[in-house]
Amino acid sequence: MSSHTLRTFDERLALRLPMLAALLARGFSRLAPRSRIRTALLWRAARLGLDAFNRRDLDAVAISYGKDFEYVPARAWVEAGMVEPCYSGLDGYRRYVATVDEVWGGENYLALMDVIDEGEQVLLLAHGSMRAQASGVPWSESFALLLTYGDGRVIRAREYYDHAEAIAALRARQPW
């Protein structure tokens, strides 16, 4: 079954009518960070995004991403020379995921644990499980994604493999 057939109605609608999705995102961004509606919408968007990532439907992952968003991989992966320090746009994000999948063989799944909303920044805390392609060795660890918003769209996503480090970055308002 294709990953496209597993899309929800709202994912299909947002991908077919991106201007409507952008308009709704701008309206959503004006809600108070702790409002019940915003909280519910953020949790739904986070679950849908991680579900889309798990099935490798990257168009659906990037529904809320701005045209020129930046994806910043975890520092340890960059320092190890496994990935570039930053990827721009959907094409860059696709290259990043392809690079990761070369190592993990596409068996890289994320399960949402918490969403922390600080207005222009939102932190997704998740648990990741993977299996190395070459050795078959399973790996499990914490995963966090710090999203920075501008005009209702994600303009920067920064990943962490330590929840405490990600929370500290959110509290310091420094996604780098």
Tens digit of pLDDT for each residue in 82-122? Answer: 899 999 999 999 999 999 888 777 677 899 999 999 999 99
Give the structural domain span for 122: 3-172
Identify the three-state secondary structure at position 142.
strand
Tokens of 89: 């746009």
Q: Domain count of the chain?
A: 1
CA 86 to chain centre: 14
Q: What is the CATH number of the domain that holds 22?
A: 3.10.450.50
User: Which is it for the CA torsion 115, 56, 157, 12, positive or negative?
Assistant: negative
**What is the pTM (predicted TM-score) of this model?**
0.89
User: Which is it for the CA torsion 18, 34, 154, 114, positive or negative?
Assistant: negative
Identify the three-state secondary structure at position 137.
coil
pLDDT tens figures, 113-151: 999 999 999 999 999 987 777 777 777 889 999 999 998
> Which is higher by pLDDT, 14 or 108?
14
